[in-house]
Amino acid sequence: MKSWRWLPVTCAALLAGWCGALAAGVRPNLTPSLPRGLWSLAEAPAELQRGDVVEFCLPHDVAVFAYDRGYLGHGLCGDGMMPLLKPVAAIPGDVVEIGEDGVRVNGIPVVPRGLTQDSQGRPLEPLAPGRYAVQPGDVWLLSGYERRSFDSRYYGAVPRSSVLRTATPLWTVE
């Protein structure tokens, strides 16, 4: 019975460590869209580059859909939703082409086409095939790490203003 008295102390220490890590700009990634582990967050540069991994907030209607499906939880975005981590695949001036064989950026294959069902068999609607010019102030976020990633294949470009920070892996497991 004496070992139970350490439980509150242990929980408090874990919570303090978690809060300290968040305050220091360290964020866990528990989703399969990128390697799971700890990621370091830093202020995003004014000009994002293809390949940058960013923490961002989904547009509100997309965030509500993702929350209702259990793709994300509550967090620090303005609407109370959790920010996501995704790589930048296309920046202003790029052309994103969605075809039956996948998604290309400037003619280079990047990821497969979006799925029509999620892992629980619920319907998904990937963007319609076509050419999408990336407008100033927008970015496309696509993860080639996991086929089932909920990314721009389903909601298109996101405003650059929704990008909170850049992320780099500190410690990950593959």
Q: How far apart are CA 77 and CA 98, in angstroms?
A: 29
The pLDDT score that the predictor gives to residue 1 is: 52
Percent of the chain's residues with pLDDT above 90 = 83
**Quick check: 138 and 4 in contact, CB under 8 A?**
no
* Domain membership of residue 161 as a residue range: 2-173
> What per-residue string of b and e applies to 7-18 under the rule 16 or more CB within 10 Å gives b?
eeeeeeeeeeee
CATH number of residue 78's parent domain: 2.10.109.10
Encode pLDDT of 98-125 as tens digits: 999 999 999 999 999 999 999 999 999 9
Percent of the chain's residues with pLDDT above 70 = 89
* Number of independent structural domains in the chain: 1
